[in-house]
Chains A and B, each alone.
Chain A
Amino acid sequence: MKQISILAVVTAFLFIGFQADAQKVFATRNGRITFESPTDGDVKAVNNEVTSRIADNGQLTFSLLMKGFKFKLAEMQEHFNDQYAESTKFPRADFKGNIVNLKEVNFTKDGSYKVSVKGDLTMHGVTKNVTVNGVVEIKAGKPTARGSFVISLKDFKIDASSVTEKVDVEVSCQYQ
């Protein structure tokens, strides 16, 4: 009898422990990232196969294949992969960051939270620290993240000056 009660106490303690410590991770494989040139509206592509994860400890990651960017113009897509992004040499773009103002986000409570995410963006073999402002929305316990930022292609050693110098990037992910 005594043993059973000890067991019960330990088990209860364990459960409480898990409750307090378990980290919640949300993920998606169908995140959406688009970019568009601010000077030439034809230079526009969308990638709907972005893998992304967000955890309630503030970590946020994105990973995508450069060849996953779809352009309206098949020729433009080939040039993008062949000459600018050099997708065979650098197939992946990757972001690893943290929510700076994590205290203002409550993952357990529905609502819309403004966030600032700081982290390392790796693309075309170059890693740069970037800050992205966006919104994390919690709905029925599941987060959605949206954000936008501007990339100066020179920073990533992509020489596309004849096409565009900057691109506006938009991110939209609905996590499960």
Chain B
Amino acid sequence: MKTLLKRSLAVLCLICTHFFAHAQQVDLFKMQDSASAAEDKNKTERTLNTFYSTRLVTTQTVEITGKGSMDFRINHRFAPLNQGFYNLFGLDFVSARIGFDFGLSDNLMIGIGRTGTNKEGDGFLKYRILRQQSGTKNVPVTISLLGAMAYRGVRYADPTLNVKTKDRMYYTAQLMVARKFNEHTSLQISPTYTRYNRKLFLTGGAQDLFSIGFLARQKVSKRVSINAEYFVQTQRFDGTYNPLSIGVDIQTGGHVFQLHFTNSIGMNEHTFIHETFGSWGKGDIRYGFNISRIFTLGGKKNK
């Protein structure tokens, strides 16, 4: 009797599962929805495009030029607007930096450039240490490191100055910490160290200089953003001001146009941070623009 009961129970169970299986037709649509939801819960999302470009106005951003890409950049700074109509509000004079940046890997880039003012040649290396991401792994900020050097090639007429090669060298180390708060707003703080091997025609300040840069980007549409950057210096050369630049980025396909107003003429770290002789208060504001064009290196493979 006992075994009979057991068997009946087993059969009952089997029948139940049978009907259950019948009732529960597999629905791929529901299966996909639940699988996608589960997957989305477990993924880590990397933050893209904290800034449009590797420079905000003149300052380096945490961004790295894409691997295998070359970025051809031309920066222009005109003379101050307050020179009036005779100099067409500064447009008669222009200083330019022509540069080439190369993306070596996902997180490493190098760049070289030449600036007309003071005939400076420069080179830099930028490495992204940490990337902002959210999801299962949360990283709140992107961090990059910059090492830059410049050589001032201008001829000094006075032979008694006895300017040696090492006196023409300038070095900059910069830490960049940036956070993209949402699709529109990104901020960056850049503690910076700059070394002047020799102060030529500069008084005050120091040979070892510290400063902190503040960068902000506010997107106003998908392709246009308003940018501002400002540096605070711990010590300043006599007659210099803290640099402040306000600009607009316009993004079109492979180009970025950056238009801005700034009180500094320099385009290398040591010049624009520490050798800004113009003052916004006195109207020494310059119009400037950067053009960035990205090229791909390495031919057209895998068609």
Closest to B19 in A: A17
B154 is an interface residue with CB less than 8 A from chain A = no
Instruction: Please indicate the chain A residues that have their CB under 8 angstroms from the CB of B21 in the complex.
Output: 18, 21-22
A63 touches B15 (CB 8 A): no
Interface size on A, residues (CB 8 A): 46
* CA–CA, A42 and B69, complex, Å: 14
A53 is an interface residue with CB less than 8 A from chain B = yes
B31 touches A61 (CB 8 A): yes
* CA–CA, A18 and B21, complex, Å: 8
Instruction: Please indicate the chain A residues that have their CB under 8 angstroms from the CB of B48 in the complex.
Output: 78, 81-82, 87-88
A130 is an interface residue with CB less than 8 A from chain B = no
A79 is an interface residue with CB less than 8 A from chain B = yes
A14 is an interface residue with CB less than 8 A from chain B = yes
Interface centre among B15, B36, B40, B67 (most CB of A within 10 A): B36
A73 is an interface residue with CB less than 8 A from chain B = yes
Pick from A90-98, A140-148, A166-174 the stretch touching chain B. Answer: A90-98
A75 touches B294 (CB 8 A): yes
Chain B binding surface SS class: mixed
* CA–CA, A92 and B302, complex, Å: 26
Instruction: Please indicate the chain A residues that have their CB under 8 angstroms from the CB of B25 in the complex.
Output: 23, 57
Partner of A92, one of B15, B40, B183: B40
A14 touches B18 (CB 8 A): yes
A89 touches B183 (CB 8 A): yes
B26 touches A96 (CB 8 A): no
Q: How far is the CB of A36 from chain B (nearest CB, A)?
A: 10
Instruction: Please indicate the chain A residues that have their CB under 8 angstroms from the CB of B40 in the complex.
Output: 91-92
Per-residue A-contact encoding for B31-69, CB less than 8 Å = 1, 0 else: 110011001100101101100000000000000001111
A23 touches B15 (CB 8 A): no
* CA–CA, A60 and B31, complex, Å: 11
Q: How far is the CB of B41 from chain A (nearest CB, A)?
A: 12
Q: How far is the CB of B220 from chain A (nearest CB, A)?
A: 14
B28 touches A59 (CB 8 A): yes
Closest to B71 in A: A75
* CA–CA, A106 and B31, complex, Å: 23
B4 is an interface residue with CB less than 8 A from chain A = yes
A3 touches B4 (CB 8 A): yes
Instruction: Please indicate the chain A residues that have their CB under 8 angstroms from the CB of B10 in the complex.
Output: 7
Q: Which of the four size classes fits the interface of chain B?
A: 35 or more
Q: How far is the CB of B56 from chain A (nearest CB, A)?
A: 17
A17 touches B18 (CB 8 A): yes
Instruction: Please indicate the chain A residues that have their CB under 8 angstroms from the CB of B303 in the complex.
Output: 41
Answer whether A74 and B68 are a contact pair too, CB < 8 Å, given A23-B25, A59-B29, A83-B223: yes
A128 is an interface residue with CB less than 8 A from chain B = no
Instruction: Please indicate the chain B residues that have their CB under 8 angstroms from the CB of A54 in the complex.
Output: 28
* CA–CA, A81 and B21, complex, Å: 43
Instruction: Please indicate the chain A residues that have their CB under 8 angstroms from the CB of B27 in the complex.
Output: 59
Instruction: Please indicate the chain B residues that have their CB under 8 angstroms from the CB of A23 in the complex.
Output: 25-26
A25 touches B67 (CB 8 A): no
Instruction: Please indicate the chain B residues that have their CB under 8 angstroms from the CB of A51 in the complex.
Output: 32, 35-36, 39
* CA–CA, A116 and B110, complex, Å: 52
Partner of B69, one of A22, A75, A79: A75
B222 touches A25 (CB 8 A): no
* CA–CA, A77 and B48, complex, Å: 10
A53 touches B31 (CB 8 A): yes
Instruction: Please indicate the chain A residues that have their CB under 8 angstroms from the CB of B29 in the complex.
Output: 59, 61, 96
24 A-B pairs with C-beta separation under 8 A:
A3-B4, A3-B7, A6-B11, A21-B22, A51-B39, A53-B28, A57-B26, A59-B28, A61-B32, A67-B45, A72-B296, A72-B301, A74-B66, A74-B103, A75-B294, A76-B254, A77-B66, A78-B66, A79-B253, A87-B48, A89-B183, A91-B40, A94-B36, A96-B32
Which 4 A-B residue pairings sit nearest by Cβ, starting from the closest? A74-B66, A59-B28, A61-B32, A82-B49
